[in-house]
Amino acid sequence: MLTMNDVVKEGHPVLREKALEVKLPPSTEEIDTLKKMMDFLKNSQTPEIAEKYDLRPGVGIAAPQINVSKRMIAVLAEDSKGKVYDFGLFNPRIVSHSVEKSYLQSGEGCLSVDRAVPGYVPRYARITVKGTDIEGNEVNLRLRGFPAIVFQHEIDHLNGVMFYDHIDKVDPFKVPENSTAIG
């Protein structure tokens, strides 16, 4: 199982690389890695297991965070209506997005960043994501709210972008133009 020892921290060059597309169909090893990433999120959100293995809770994880520079992400997050988004995707890409932005009132955090970085992270309010799931099916997801934010945080990791890259350096809590607060 994946633990915090497998997570690379900021300063590691892999977090600033553009991850490589996964050649489809995925190899057994790539499928196993994506399964491990999905299991990590579940474990990290299960108090007994998180406590036992000292896991920091996460709603998403990207392969570069475990030093695998491949375009693979996992998300386990709920929207405001309690709908659970439980996905592992190969080669996820944002194919369209709203002009309108959104941001989490509480800001964002990252398993690869062992410090709080306060400030609003402007994201697209609504996105359409295409990718391939663990069974090899093409998925087309129309996302908004918290899940949309999480998917953008993970896809950023595949492009070497960290959440704090988006925070305004002069005024971290400046409300982004044409945006809606979440949470």
- Name the DSSP class of 111: T
Q: Which helix (H) or strand (E) holds 30?
A: helix 28-44
Residues that bind ligand 5LI (CB under 6 A): 58-62, 65, 104, 108-112, 149-150, 153-154, 157
- Residue (24 or 84) nearer to ligand 5LI, CB: 84
Shortest Cβ 25–ligand 5LI spacing (Å): 25
What are the structure tokens assigned to 134, written together?
A: 């663990």
Shortest Cβ 112–ligand 5LI spacing (Å): 6
Catalytic residues, by residue number, are 154
The angle formed by the CA atoms of residues 52, 30 and 112, to the nearest 5 degrees, is: 50
Question: Which partner from the list Ni ion, ligand 5LI, none does 63 bind, CB cut-off 5 to 8 Å by kind?
Answer: none
- Residue (70 or 153) nearer to ligand 5LI, CB: 153
- Name the DSSP class of 31: H
- Residue (88 or 109) nearer to ligand 5LI, CB: 109
Nearest to 59, CA basis, from 177, 152, 167: 152
Give the CB-nearest residue to Ni ion.
Answer: 110
Say if residues 147 and 124 touch (Cβ distance below 8 Å): no
Q: Which residues, 93 to 122, sit near Ni ion by CB under 5 A?
A: 110
